């Protein structure tokens, strides 16, 4: 628990240092990853989408 609290404090410090644009860019990447994972979840049986997902991983 203590390690997690320390890590989250460090992450907050790093995020506060960075310009807002970089943070938004990072959250955009996270959203893209989430969307891709949702698509692969719904289209598991589609080989083409899985191959696209494997290409990025």
Using CA atoms, how far residue 42 sits from 5, 22, 28, 37, 57, in Å, is 35, 30, 21, 9, 18
Q: How many domains does the chain have?
A: 1
Instruction: Using alpha carbons, select from 38, 41, 36, 34 the residue that is nearest to residue 52.
Output: 36
- pLDDT above 70: residue 52: no
> What span, in angstroms and rounded, lies between the C-alpha atoms of 50 and 42?
11
Domain that holds residue 25: 2-56
pTM over 0.85: no
- How do residues 11-32 score in pLDDT, each as one tens digit? 777 666 766 666 677 788 888 8
């Amino acid at each position: 628990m203590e390690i997690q609290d320390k890590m989250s404090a460090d992450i907050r410090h790093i995020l506060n240092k960075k310009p807002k644009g970089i943070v938004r860019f990072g959250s955009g990447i996270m959203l893209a990853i989430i969307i891709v994972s949702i698509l692969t979840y719904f289209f598991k049986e589609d080989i083409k989408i899985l191959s696209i997902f494997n290409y990025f991983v």
